[in-house]
């Protein structure tokens, strides 16, 4: 059997429950079942090191070998902060207004991808399956091929792929998509992403569509398909029974007895629609005053990418929105918003989800959104909470029984939240059962097997 080699920007010990970050959680699940090699950046930034060079570290974590590489400050700032998170992240989330097209970033992005390729090649075995993840590493497959790497290579994009005219705003768009054609399989989160890929390569690269999943362009053939990522449903459901989760659940249910609890959980990121959500919650209190004194929104937004100005600005905006709602509507014995700028431990999170009557998962754009799936898995089937989900999350393609909303429409979304708060038990149960079936049939194991089977079955050119 071929060995699995996973390459991603960050590497985590799969044996330890991960902190925030859907990718780390999902990859840990995928690798620990058969073991393999996990390769990426160590998270260490060295001051004064030479660009394009970095020390390599190796350690064993159960059946997974973790190999990581340090980055010097200059590489980190251009590859990670600059190009990955200052250009690709905003553009791929349709936020051209937030992109910083500094011409210097792409050189660092390319340099780091070249260095990672150079360090990875000597570790490879001839029949390895290489699985590269996410927007930080789009050119890596092409750099590996340039070093004569013949192994099968798959790439999975965790974030959305925007439509061609938005993608074309990135000055290096052609180079990025051409690099994907160095892979054998390219996976996306949703059918919408595949359609954007198909129209881009059709329009810009005059690609030939060979069959449902095969495209030929730039002199190579690639298999492109949607593989919607999932969670480990049984494991997550079991987590609701840990001591910490039960304590959290019991504590919240006691504190909010007779009241409604709404919940939002995410990294603090402008793609997650947090200001719009708070404005919607204000609208809910205004339009449906029966919620005053009886509905509380717990909003957990863990710190993320704070070195970037757009993220620091978002934090200030949220703090001011929360302060204004609490000031205008709060009372001595009730505060409408409890805002927490921290990570919640993974052992407590399921208890929190289970205690909530309504989850607000309302990103402006999201590749998939695992919080939506975790919320479903954590519910008590006899008395489940209701998922209010943005139609712009990749998860909305699958989770049709959620209440789908347009998060830009604060008025309409407030109406939908009111519906969710008043939904009769039988309807909550029916919707939850269908949603649970959906996340079970496309869980993280399905995701891994579907992607790796497509990769193992492809015939390299």
Is 368 a binder of ligand ADQ (CB under 6 A)? Answer: yes
Q: Give the neighbor-by-neighbor strand order of the sheet with 64-72.
A: 56-61, 64-72, 36-46, 4-10, 129-133, 152-156, 185-188, 220-226, 214-217, 208-209
Residue tagged active-site, from 93, 133, 158, 442: 158
Site for ligand ADQ in 290-309 (CB under 6 A): 300, 302
- Dist. CA 6–CA 21, nearest whole Å: 16
Active site residue 213: no
- Across the strands, what pairs with 318? none
Using CB under 6 A, count the residues that bind ligand ADQ.
24
The residue at minimum Cβ distance from ligand ADQ is: 22
Residue tagged active-site, from 366, 432, 442, 443: 366
| Residue pair 68/94 in contact by the 8 Å Cβ criterion | no
Residues 6+ away with beta carbon under 8 Å from 312: 306
Closest CB to ligand ADQ among residues 10, 267? 267
| Residue pair 431/401 in contact by the 8 Å Cβ criterion | yes
Q: Is 297 exposed, middle or buried (0-12, 13-18, 19+ CB in 10 A)?
A: buried
Is 137 a binder of ligand ADQ (CB under 6 A)? Answer: no
Is 136 a binder of ligand ADQ (CB under 6 A)? Answer: no
Q: Which segment (169-177, 289-297, 343-351, 398-406) binds ligand ADQ by CB under 6 A? A: 343-351
- Across the strands, what pairs with 72? 46
Candidates 70, 283, 366, 401; binder of ligand ADQ (CB under 6 A) is 366
Closest CB to ligand ADQ among residues 25, 322? 25
Is 416 a binder of ligand ADQ (CB under 6 A)? Answer: no
Closest CB to ligand ADQ among residues 78, 299? 299
- Dist. CA 139–CA 88, nearest whole Å: 13
Is 371 a binder of ligand ADQ (CB under 6 A)? Answer: yes
| Cα torsion 414, 434, 18, 446: sign | negative
Closest CB to ligand ADQ among residues 116, 265? 265
Instruction: Tell me how far, at minimum, the Cβ of 241 lies from ligand ADQ, in Å.
Output: 17
DSSP classification of residue 294: T
Closest CB to ligand ADQ among residues 178, 267? 267
Is 322 a binder of ligand ADQ (CB under 6 A)? Answer: no
Closest CB to ligand ADQ among residues 17, 168? 17
- Dist. CA 81–CA 311, nearest whole Å: 12
Is 30 a binder of ligand ADQ (CB under 6 A)? Answer: no
Is 186 a binder of ligand ADQ (CB under 6 A)? Answer: no
Angle at which helix 22-34 crosses helix 444-457, to 10 degrees, equals: 60
- Dist. CA 444–CA 229, nearest whole Å: 6
Q: Which segment (30-38, 138-146, 262-270, 278-286) binds ligand ADQ by CB under 6 A? A: 262-270
Distances (CA, A) of 112 to 73, 116, 139, 342: 12, 6, 10, 30
Is 439 a binder of ligand ADQ (CB under 6 A)? Answer: no
* Secondary-structure percent of the chain, ordered helix, strand, coil, rounded to 5: 45, 20, 35
Instruction: Tell me how far, at minimum, the Cβ of 346 lies from ligand ADQ, in Å.
Output: 6
Is 154 a binder of ligand ADQ (CB under 6 A)? Answer: no
Q: Which segment (14-22, 143-151, 197-205, 452-460) binds ligand ADQ by CB under 6 A? A: 14-22
Q: Give the neighbor-by-neighbor strand order of the sheet with 260-267.
A: 337-340, 295-302, 260-267, 358-361, 386-390, 403-405
Active site residue 357: no
Is 226 a binder of ligand ADQ (CB under 6 A)? Answer: no
Instruction: Tell me how far, at minimum, the Cβ of 434 lies from ligand ADQ, in Å.
Output: 21
Closest CA to 71 of 61, 81, 63: 81
Closest CB to ligand ADQ among residues 310, 343? 343
Closest CA to 135 of 165, 93, 97: 93
Instruction: Tell me how far, at minimum, the Cβ of 274 lies from ligand ADQ, in Å.
Output: 12
Q: Which segment (68-76, 135-143, 263-271, 290-298) binds ligand ADQ by CB under 6 A? A: 263-271
Rule CB under 6 A: which residues touch ligand ADQ? 20-23, 25-26, 158-159, 229, 265-267, 300, 302, 343-344, 349, 366-371, 374
């Amino acid at each position: 059997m071929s060995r699995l080699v996973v390459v991603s920007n960050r590497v985590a010990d799969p044996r330890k429950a991960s902190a925030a970050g859907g990718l780390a959680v999902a990859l840990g699940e995928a690798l620990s079942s058969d073991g393999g090699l996990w390769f990426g950046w160590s998270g260490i930034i060295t001051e004064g090191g030479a660009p394009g060079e970095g020390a390599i570290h190796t350690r064993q974590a159960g059946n997974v070998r973790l190999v990581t590489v340090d980055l010097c400050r200059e590489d980190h700032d251009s590859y990670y902060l600059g190009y990955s998170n200052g250009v690709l992240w905003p553009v791929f989330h349709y936020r051209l207004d937030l992109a910083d097209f500094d011409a210097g970033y792409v050189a660092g992005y390319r340099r780091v991808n070249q260095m990672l390729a150079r360090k990875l090649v000597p570790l490879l075995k001839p029949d390895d399956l290489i699985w590269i993840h996410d927007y930080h590493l789009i050119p890596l497959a092409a750099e590996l091929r340039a070093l004569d790497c013949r192994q099968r290579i798959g790439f999975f994009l965790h974030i959305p792929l925007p439509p061609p005219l938005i993608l074309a705003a990135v000055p290096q768009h052609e180079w990025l998509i051409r690099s994907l054609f160095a892979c054998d399989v390219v996976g996306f989160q949703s059918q919408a992403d595949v359609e954007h890929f198909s129209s881009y390569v059709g329009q810009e690269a005059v690609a030939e569509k060979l069959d449902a999943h095969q495209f030929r362009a730039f002199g190579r053939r690639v298999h492109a398909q949607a593989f919607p990522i999932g969670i480990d449903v049984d494991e997550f459901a079991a987590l609701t029974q840990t001591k910490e989760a039960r304590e959290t659940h019991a504590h919240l249910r006691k504190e909010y007895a007779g009241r409604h609890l709404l919940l939002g959980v995410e990294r603090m990121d402008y793609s997650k629609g947090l200001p719009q959500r708070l404005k919607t919650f204000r609208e809910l209190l205004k339009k449906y005053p029966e919620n005053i004194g009886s509905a509380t929104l717990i909003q957990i937004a863990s710190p993320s990418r704070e070195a970037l100005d757009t993220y620091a600005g978002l934090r200030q905006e949220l703090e001011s929105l929360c302060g204004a709602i609490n000031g205008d509507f709060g009372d001595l014995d009730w505060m409408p918003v409890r805002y927490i700028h921290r990570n919640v431990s993974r052992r407590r999170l399921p208890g929190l989800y289970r205690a909530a009557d309504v989850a607000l998962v309302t990103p402006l754009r999201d590749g998939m959104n695992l919080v939506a799936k975790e919320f479903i898995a954590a519910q008590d089937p006899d008395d489940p909470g209701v998922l209010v989900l943005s139609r712009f999350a990749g998860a909305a393609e699958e989770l049709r029984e959620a209440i789908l909303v347009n998060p830009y429409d604060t008025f309409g979304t407030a109406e939908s939240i009111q519906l969710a708060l008043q939904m009769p038990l039988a309807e909550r149960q029916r919707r939850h059962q269908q949603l649970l079936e959906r996340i079970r049939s496309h869980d993280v194991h399905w995701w891994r097997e579907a992607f790796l089977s497509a990769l193992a079955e492809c015939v390299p050119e």
